[in-house]
Amino acid sequence: MKDSIEEKQVKVVMMKKFVIIIFSIFVLLIGMFAIMYNGYIKAYEEAHNHSSYSWLKETYPVEKYSTSSDGNKDVFESSKQEYSSSSDRKNKEDLKSLMNMFMKGLFPPTLLDPDYTYAYEKAKSWSKKHLSQQQIKIYLTKYDRYSEDATQYALNKLNVDWKEQALLKAKYYQEFHYSKEKLVEQLINIEKFTQEEADYAIEQGHFDWKEEAVKKAEFYANSGKITKERLLQKLVEYRRFTQEEAEYAIEHAKIDWLN
């Protein structure tokens, strides 16, 4: 049964590669056709211009022109030949460049692999949850199983201010009344924001850490009877408030103390 599943996976991969090769050839053919069509248009215009010039030559006999006019005519003919040669060289260079792109696999990945587009859409969805860049990368590669290239493409295309993401995530966590130290730890170790992004969130959040300690103390008190000593220990040792913040909370929190 396991072998059967693996065989199916191999077939899917081979089919995917086959489709990519066929699509690449199709794109190459379109490019070659465009170049040939461009050359045909230029050749037609040159032939049309040459025909118009011949008509003028028949209407106005050569002997009526001065030597100066004959000189201008030679310059015109020379310019047409140079333009034609330049156009031919340009077409050949375009074709050569297109062939080199095909041989080196430099076609835009999104034209060949829809996973790039899917990864970008998924990344946008994750970013709406105020995740860090590193966290989104982990989700895309580990859980959504996109390739490293597709993931990097998605992250590069995202228009996200990661410092603002950190600030929004910090405000979310403050619904649970974190201390400054605990919040920084959460942003960096759990949410995978950088130190710079976490510092920005702390600075721009304008949190009142003493008031956060008060609210956390009241939360603990509402969960059951507790002594001042035990509450102080919880605030300082477990929730990482400073001694000053914890003492302020003990003094200002609305708590019915256990005698």
The residue from 107, 124, 140 where one domain ends is: 107
In a domain, 233, yes or no: yes
Domain that includes residue 72, residue range: 2-107
Q: Is residue 193 part of a domain?
A: no
Q: How many separate domains does the chain show? A: 3
Instruction: Identify whether the C-beta of residue 151 lies closer than 8 Å to the C-beta of residue 119.
Output: yes
Find, among 185, 257, 196, the residue nearest to 227 by Cα. Answer: 257
**Final residue of a domain: which of 65, 92, 107?**
107
Quickly count: other Cβ atoms within 10 Å of residue 149's Cβ.
13
Instruction: Write the CATH number for 223.
Output: 1.10.10.10
Q: Are residues 82 and 92 in the same domain?
A: yes
Supply the DSSP symbol for 61. -
Residue 138 lies in a domain: yes
- Single pTM value for the model: 0.58
Question: What pLDDT is attached to residue 2?
Answer: 46
User: Same domain, yes or no, for 41 and 113?
Assistant: no
Amino acid identity for residue 236 in this structure: V
In a domain, residue 257? The reply is no
What the block records as the tokens of 55 is 């008509």
* H and E: helices and strands count for the chain: 12, 0
Nearest C-alpha neighbor of 204 from the set 176, 159, 166: 166
Residues 223 and 237 in one domain: yes
Rounded average pLDDT per 10-residue block, the chain, 259 residues = 56 67 71 65 55 42 44 51 58 57 50 80 94 96 91 93 97 96 97 98 97 96 88 95 96 79
- d(CA 215, CA 252) in angstroms, rounded, equals 10
123 and 153 belong to one structural domain: yes
Q: Rounded to the nearest 5°, which phi and psi values hold at 161?
A: -95, 105
